[in-house]
Amino acid sequence: MQVSFEFFPPRDNAGQSSLDNAVQQLQVWQPQFASMTYGAGGTSQQESFAGAQKLLARDLATASHITCVGADRETVQATAKQFVAQGVDHFVALRGDSPDGPYVPHPQGYAYANDLVAGLREWFTGTISVAAYPEIHPQALSGAKDLAFLKAKMDAGADQIITQYCYNTDTLLAFAENLQKVGITQPLLVGIMPIHDIAAVQRFSARCGATVPQSIGDRFAALEQTQDKVKLAIDIAVEQCRQLMENGLDQFHFYTLNRSTLTAGVLATLEQPPVNMALSA
């Protein structure tokens, strides 16, 4: 099993200490890399530089997310070069979303992530990861077109894929099979988002085209105590990771939300054999 952790740039002192604590607690799991988001939730470029710097300062292999929305090519390239000058050798290359209304490409910009990957590959020799959507990107013309554009990102020079989180494991496994059908052979890192707050995850999922199965909502609705909800969140993620590993998918990218409890709980549980195996050993 290999893991990576995603963080976002904090905006105030309380956020800084949450990030510091989360990074410190999670670093012991020796991630393949740690990534810092860019522009998501309205964060500024300076906040992303500072966030990436924090990961680099802890000697973590650091990936910077970079988006091409709302900027011309020159500006995007200058930003990428600034990250590289900082010591970053891995980009998660993304289109991003327009802050209000439907996405409109910048007239002098990279229109889609495949164009951004090609632009970075003109000079960048480090790792490039790209995003993929097992439940299909909400603005995709069709599932087949979404997959074809993902293939275009790989053909432009991307090295690996990180998925949007997806709580339906069958959907994830079908997606992995579809990748093979269209000739995508690069590593697939499955996004795992342990559920810290079911209502918040349901709201966010509705915006980004992911679904939270009714059965998961029902399991949380039956609980009142915080500690029971924490245990359930860990159980759900552990169950999913185990099923994925049984099917050959063993690279997990945790959306940590700058918190460590759930991710560390999942990893600690995965390190132990499942109870029935332990009993029969």
Apex 25 CA angle, 22 and 28, nearest 5: 135
Task: Say whether residue 166 binds ligand FAD (CB under 6 A).
Answer: no
List the one residue from 4, 32, 37, 263 that touches ligand FAD (CB under 6 A).
Answer: 37
Tokens of 49: 């530089």
CB 241 within 8 A of CB 252: yes
List the one residue from 112, 121, 202, 259 that touches ligand FAD (CB under 6 A).
Answer: 112
Instruction: For ligand FAD, give the closer residue by CB, 116 or 267.
Output: 116
List the one residue from 79, 95, 194, 244 that touches ligand FAD (CB under 6 A).
Answer: 95
Convert residues 55-74 into a mask of x (bound to ligand FAD by CB under 6 A) and - (unbound): ----------x-x-------
List the one residue from 84, 140, 223, 230 that touches ligand FAD (CB under 6 A).
Answer: 140
Convert residues 187-226 into a mask of x (bound to ligand FAD by CB under 6 A) and - (unbound): ----x-----------------------------------
CA distances from 153 to 118, 150, 183, 233, 243 (A): 8, 5, 13, 33, 28
Length of the chain: 281
Active site residues: 6
CA distances from 53 to 34, 36, 117, 209, 259 (A): 12, 10, 23, 31, 18
Task: Say whether residue 97 binds ligand FAD (CB under 6 A).
Answer: yes
Q: How far is the CB of 158 from ligand FAD (least distance, A)?
A: 10
Instruction: For ligand FAD, give the closer residue by CB, 235 or 250.
Output: 250
Which three-class secondary structure state does DSSP give residue 40? helix
Largest pairwise CA distance in the chain: 63
236 Cβ contact list (under 8 Å, min separation 6): 167, 194, 195, 216, 219
Binding range to ligand FAD, per CB under 6 A, among 22-30, 38-46, 54-62, 196-204: 38-46
Among 98, 6, 14, 100, which Cα is nearest to 48's? Answer: 6
Task: Say whether residue 94 binds ligand FAD (CB under 6 A).
Answer: yes
Rounded Cα–Cα distance for residues 59 and 43 (Å): 24
Instruction: For ligand FAD, give the closer residue by CB, 96 or 157.
Output: 96
Q: Which residues make up the interface to ligand FAD (CB under 6 A)?
A: 37-40, 65, 67, 92, 94-97, 112-114, 131, 137, 139-140, 145-146, 149, 153, 162, 164, 191
